[in-house]
Amino acid sequence: MNTWKKKPVTLIVADSGPLISLACADELRLLQSFGRPVLVADVVRKEWTRKLGAPGEERLTHWFDTAGGNQFRELRTPFLAVFIDAIAQEASGENPDATIGLGDAAISWILKNLPRLKSVDGESLPVGPEEIALVLTEDGPYGDGSVLMQRRAHVLSTRQWLKTLERLGLIPSSRAIIDEIQAGGRRVARYMADRPAEVDGGTRSDWKDGTEAVVAGRGEDQTP
């Protein structure tokens, strides 16, 4: 039985996989169910806009320019210039795998530099050293490896997240969304993880309280 104390996560760092998947199913609004700000590395955003016609790309771009912009922040990392150069290497055929791992490296860098984060506009973000980030990913277990080394980050996979939203009554069926994503031309990895950060010996992170608050708020809105 769980006996540890729970400390809420305070921000969500989204990998490109879940964003593209949600865009394919036209369910990007679900990111707001965390009730937390969503941060995306500049490299991750570049990753989804580089392939014209990639599944969900248009919806992603539109969403972050409109409704998602209220919750979403794009972070500056030292990897963007390297990533752009790697894209050129892939395009020229010099190195067809040049971009592999750079998105993961950017997320790992963000987790290591929480107190020093800046938006792409150069604005400092108020993230304290004691805050806990949740990484939403579907890229495991190998892509998750760089995060795995950092026990202060909570890791959640797309599948486990959607299944929890179903149990909480926020969506009717996680299976239906995954089927929709696959109908949009994208396969969702079977990877399943909900790995709390280990804050200290007796305390671990929890992400669900924010979602439960959103569920409760929705219930109140529907009360006549």
Partner 1 sequence: MLVSDLKRASPHDILQAWQDGAISYREAMTLTGCENLFELYQACRSSRVALRSVLTDRELQGVEATVSDLIGP
State the residues that interact with partner 1 by CB under 8 A: 1-2, 140-141, 144, 155, 157, 159-160, 163-164, 167-168, 174-175, 190-196, 206-208, 212
Contact 181, 21 (CB under 8 A): yes
> Least CB distance from residue 149 to partner 1, whole Å?
13
User: At residue 56, what are phi and psi to the nearest 5 degrees?
Assistant: 80, -5
- Considering beta carbons, is residue 2 or 70 the nearer one to partner 1? 2
Minimum CB distance to partner 1 smaller for 86 or for 162: 162
Nearest distance from C-beta of residue 131 to partner 1, angstroms: 19
Q: Which is nearer to partner 1, 11 or 43 (CB)?
A: 11
Q: Is the CB of 24 or the CB of 177 nearer to partner 1? A: 177
Q: How far is the CB of 163 from partner 1 (least distance, A)?
A: 4
